[in-house]
Structure 1
Amino acid sequence: MEKPLRLQAFLARAGVGSRRKAEELIRQGRVRVNEEVAHLGQKVGPGDVVEVDGKRVELPQERIVLALHKPKGYTTTRFDPHAQKTVFDLLPPIPGLHPVGRLDRDSEGLLLFTNDGALTFRLTHPRHGVKKVYRVWTERGTLPEGVCQKLVQGVALEDGPARALFCRPAPGGAYLTLAEGRKREVRRMLKAVGYPVRRLLRVQVGPIQLGHLPPGRWRRLSEEEVAALLREGGLE
């Protein structure tokens, strides 16, 4: 850290969570700087000791971004007493590593992980509209063009309207592109138009594609891919 950072930005970069979560921790009095309770807007610089719940927090020495092909049956969480398998069972033990968004237990495909909270915030906040592409198979087979058009026009869900940016029929289902990631949104959208999902595979997040990465395997993104993600999140 070469220059002072706002405390919430420091915590986000350290992988504690999003800036919003960091602000909540500060408001709750759970953050201390140099053994004193911290306050919002406070800046920290080289030599300052930052603690959350009594545990020291430091910036990662380098930004790490991993791509995992999440298999079905794994929960996107680090600790869950009700989950038999979590995605962290498949990953190396890197401090501060956390998922960029989520995939529900029954879904498969591309899931990104990083130790950079600021990058996570930019890639997951709806304001930035990072596109995600899904390949879906439905219980009723291939989506007709008319159903695809309906998904692009928008459907009503219990938590508000939802729409696909793009929809293309594919054997047994379709390809859908969305710019937000509400809980089980794709499944709920397809159910709303009468085509319940049988299988869901995420194949792309922003500029990063799943490619031929086998299920259960991970890889580290190249410098070029990380740079593309930074541009996608407006952090160039």
Structure 2
Amino acid sequence: MPQRGCRMRLNKYLAQCGVCSRRDADKLIEQGKVLVNGQVAGMGQQVLETDTVQVGKKILQGKQTCKVLAFYKPVGVVCTERDPHAEKKIMDMIHCPERLTYAGRLDKDSEGLILLTNDGDLINAMMRGANRHEKEYIVKIDREITPDFLEIMRKGIYLKDLDITTRECKIEKIGKYTFQIILTQGVNRQIRRMCEACGAKVRSLKRIRVMNIRLGDLKPGEWREVTGGELETLLTDTGMLNRK
């Protein structure tokens, strides 16, 4: 909540309460779904500690402590919260009273580390492409890995269907059919698209690290809370540690 006697922009307040990112907060305000002291809020409005803020039927209780969970998403589980036909969703596997949102999805056929948080601003900072935050994967393909394959992948590949060229990346062969790769962008199904462009098909894909957070000893379906120095480093690297 804003400090006593100080005003805070409403979209920032909603993000700090874990409702959504500031951008999505602006959309909620624009749609008339946010009330301040019983009145429909306006764009750019500021709030005080004494104001009552309501989103839909929920009255907000002020800024929450930032919570981050590291979750091992199994194969077959989807990240989306809105697909009514999905049999297995991440949120069905994590029983947490707070509203959490994932930062960086994995497709249904992939597994590994997903970070979830109640902090909308943190999600925004982690997902912002310009920040070039690292994500690390172990990938198995259907053909033997050659030096040429590694070099093409490392330099970046033009993806015709998206009309983009992937950024240079770090890649290392760790088995006859397996490689480890570090990406700094978030293109949808990027590794699968890159491999397909090289004539290979992904057989398995596991994310083992996001920034400084590692999958570690987690088993599929397990999760742990990110705390202490690990959380402090994450907040520092995203510029969220000393925000006001």
| TM-score normalised to structure 1 length | 0.93
Q: Secondary structure at the match of 1:120?
A: helix
Q: Name the counterpart of 2:220.
A: 215
Q: Give 2:206's aligned amino acid.
A: L
User: Cα deviations across residues 25-83 of structure 1 (Å, max 9, x unaligned)?
Assistant: 22222222111221222112212122223432344532211100110000102342110
Contact kept in structure 1, 2:66 and 2:117, CA below 8 Å:
yes
Q: Counterpart amino acid of 1:114?
A: T
1:131 and 1:205 in contact (8 A); partners too: yes
Matched, 1:92 2:105: no
Q: Which amino acid aligns with 2:130?
A: R
Q: Secondary structure at the match of 1:102?
A: coil
Q: Supply the distance in 1 between the matched residues of 2:46 and 2:130 (Cα, whole angstroms).
A: 26
2:142/2:202 contact within 8 Å kept: yes
| 1:166 matched residue in structure 2 | 170
- Code of the aligned partner of 2:65: E
Unaligned runs of 5+ in 1: none
Number of equivalent positions: 235
Q: Which residue of 1 aligns with 2:77?
A: 74
TM-fit CA distance, 1:24: 1.5
Distance 1:218 1:35 in 2: 39
* Equivalent residue, structure 1, for 2:149: 147
> Does structure 1 residue 226 correspond to structure 2 residue 226?
no
Amino acid paired to 1:41: G
4+ residue runs of structure 1 moved beyond 4 angstroms?
A: none
SS of equivalent residue, structure 1 residue 110: strand
Q: What does the per-residue CA deviation read over 1:169-228, in whole Å, with 9 as the maximum and x for residues that have no partner?
A: 121221111112121111111111112111000000000111111111001112211101
Matches within 5 A, 1:97-116: 97-116=100-119
Deviation at 1:94? Answer: 2.6
The residue aligned with 2:185 is 180
State the secondary structure of the residue aligned to 1:63: coil
Residue 52 in structure 1 maps to residue 55 in structure 2: yes
Structure 2 residue aligned with 1:128: 131
In the superposition, the TM-score normalised over structure 2's length comes to 0.90
Which amino acid in 2 is paired with 1:154?
G
Matched AA of 1:134: Y
Q: Quick check: 2:37–2:51 contact (8 Å CA) kept in 1?
A: yes
Q: 2:47 & 2:77 partners in 1: Cα distance?
A: 38
* Contact residue 69 and residue 226 of structure 2 kept, 8 A: yes
Q: How large is the Cα RMSD of the aligned pairs?
A: 1.6
Identity %: 38
CA distance in 2: counterparts of 1:22 and 1:200, whole angstroms: 34
| Residue 2 of structure 1, CA deviation | 4.2
